[in-house]
Structure 1
């Protein structure tokens, strides 16, 4: 896949990333889900079709007013501006499993052309998403997948394998090859978090990581104060803890904030997935040595281009189909409708000032 990365304050901003895929959705009958999937897969694609103007695409992130999600959907708006589409942003203020359902139902009533969703729960959103598809709407999952039978394509940051491997690698490095670690995740049902953690657990079982002990997976629900308290609880419960790995931008920032002003600074390492701008101060003061991420804006940008390509009939979501995504270049759809943005970037004191997002 060829792509040019997002440019912000840099001449070339590298974005990186990682991914997931999920299984069948609950709450729908076999006939309902299969008929929706069959309708999508049998439609013919015309890669030479002109991109429609005025495509109405609504973005539904896990929650509003989340710094990471704000960057993602901002990239979607930028792409729709380029494509002369209509951008809409809706979403809950909490990241609970069923909080997105009412918004999907409203978008159906509003007759949007495309829904872009970062699913809080892969199954809870299924019935409503399939209603949207039955009404002729396209569904683009991004960042956190819905079940495959409920959407047309999934924009993945990178592979789940790649993310989990990177998280395990950083944990090993920061622990010095041995010792106790813990994970501070988002919600218990977050599809992307769980996929990465599963890979990470597999990696921790390998001989090279056999001296690392995973004490606990805690959940901060992508809430700053809850994540702060969970980080505090982990350190109190496990006095020999060496590393907290937080594969969520809210969690890593909250954990770093707690450690930076505590007696644990310099003794317990914090790593995971975060944005350079939110983590810069913690890298500068020595609380965080390294962390990783892709460019969230590029995820939203790619989701918007995929949504318009679907609405224009250029793609249907079938494996092997290609489409162009503006400044990111050409992408090829993989198995199960997955479109992978690219590889992850590791940020540290040597390179963090080269990035502005």
Structure 2
């Protein structure tokens, strides 16, 4: 497996974000905080084996490696570019490696093993599967490598800190709220997700289903969760299939940047344009044309570049000993401000941002 080194903004309700459709991008196919359980094979957490020194100098000359879910995914290109800029500004070396498929878990494991052998100082990884990387990541940690997950988490015992795009609950519930408003709280809806194993997708969908249990949504029926595997063509075909199977469908929620763009592409050229509502997580640049032509009213997301940058600052703070990953610890992430580590060693980037015709022009990512 060859190693790829690539030189390599915020929204709300977006996801996960940089675009896709005919190209095959995809983010949001990963994770937000999913109260993942500790893995039974996990190594002792950094927080339990070391004490933090908030005043420790930030180390320079480190090597911080990024392992996204897929290297050819525009969302991760944006997030990892943000990471590269933060790493290099801090006086360290950035590298990116990874597979071209967001479902190649064996490939991700192989890259973790290689990075461990190369003795990198920290790995920032967006996990394709919550448990598949655990053994390899904990071996890396035993060898002194700090592990930060971003966008999509592993089990909590398999990394030091998880950088979550936004609260999983905020993301899941707000997507239902946006859809309900668009269809007048009545009708059949479907969800177009990424991979069936994507931690963040499943966590968000769990909160969507919980939100739909509220009395005000009694006339909304979730008929199906379809999976486009964060692939543009597959997501396009799944959208087509949903409308063939449920011709009375009123709306589709797609919490993945690849999926929402592919669905918008299909709807914009079909008889369902303006009749079937679409929302979810996407990037302004991907969705701009579809908002302009009326295919999409509103969607949300976060800034992926800031997500990648926060992962970098967090990794450097871990390696420098300023934090260990223990809940309650605080640290400064460059000019991004101060962040506090929460439950399950999770750091939340911020609230999701809603994009519509009146606001989308203010953003460029």
The verdict on a shared fold, with TM-score over 0.5 as the criterion, is yes
Change (3 A) 1:209 1:49: same
Change (3 A) 1:258 1:77: same
* Residue in structure 1 matched with residue 265 of structure 2 by the alignment: 257
* Residue in structure 1 matched with residue 278 of structure 2 by the alignment: 270
* Residue in structure 2 matched with residue 23 of structure 1 by the alignment: 36
- Distance in 1 between residues matched to 2:312 and 2:63, nearest whole Å: 10
Task: Give how far 1:99 is off.
Answer: 3.4
- Distance in 2 between residues matched to 1:306 and 1:77, nearest whole Å: 13
Counterpart pick for 2:290 among 282, 287, 299: 282
| Runs of 4+ off more than 6 Å | none
- Distance in 2 between residues matched to 1:324 and 1:72, nearest whole Å: 19
Counterpart pick for 1:45 among 25, 42, 52: 52
- Distance in 2 between residues matched to 1:156 and 1:271, nearest whole Å: 21
Equivalent residues, number:
339
- Distance in 1 between residues matched to 2:240 and 2:107, nearest whole Å: 27
Counterpart pick for 2:246 among 238, 242, 245: 238
- Distance in 2 between residues matched to 1:289 and 1:254, nearest whole Å: 16
* 2:213 paired with 1:213: no
Change (3 A) 1:226 1:14: closer
Q: Which residues of structure 2 form unaligned runs of 5+?
A: 1-8, 15-31
- Distance in 2 between residues matched to 1:191 and 1:99, nearest whole Å: 18
* Residue in structure 2 matched with residue 7 of structure 1 by the alignment: none
* Residue in structure 2 matched with residue 82 of structure 1 by the alignment: 89
- Distance in 2 between residues matched to 1:213 and 1:21, nearest whole Å: 24
Task: Give how far 1:21 is off.
Answer: 2.6
Q: Which residues of structure 1 form unaligned runs of 5+?
A: 1-12
Query: 1:220-235 alignment to 2 at 5 Å?
Result: 220-235=228-243
Counterpart pick for 1:192 among 197, 200, 215: 200
Task: Give how far 1:98 is off.
Answer: 3.5
Task: Give how far 1:25 is off.
Answer: 5.9
Q: SS state of the match for residue 250, structure 2?
A: strand
* 2:163 paired with 1:150: no
* Residue in structure 1 matched with residue 110 of structure 2 by the alignment: 102
Change (3 A) 1:309 1:67: same
Task: Give how far 1:24 is off.
Answer: 3.3
* Residue in structure 2 matched with residue 57 of structure 1 by the alignment: 64
Task: Give how far 1:40 is off.
Answer: 4.1
- Distance in 2 between residues matched to 1:355 and 1:64, nearest whole Å: 24
TM-score when scaled to structure 2? 0.90
Q: SS state of the match for residue 244, structure 1?
A: strand
Aligned 8 A contact 2:168 2:203 in 1: yes
Q: SS state of the match for residue 176, structure 1?
A: coil
Aligned 8 A contact 1:253 1:279 in 2: yes
* Residue in structure 2 matched with residue 71 of structure 1 by the alignment: 78
* Residue in structure 1 matched with residue 25 of structure 2 by the alignment: none
Change (3 A) 1:55 1:229: same
Change (3 A) 1:276 1:38: closer
CA-based RMSD: 1.4
Counterpart pick for 1:300 among 284, 299, 308: 308
Please list the CA deviations of residues 183-208 of structure 1 after superposition, one character each: whole Å capped at 9, or x if unmatched: 00000010000000000000011101
* 2:142 paired with 1:134: yes
Aligned 8 A contact 1:15 1:298 in 2: no
Task: Give how far 1:271 is off.
Answer: 0.8
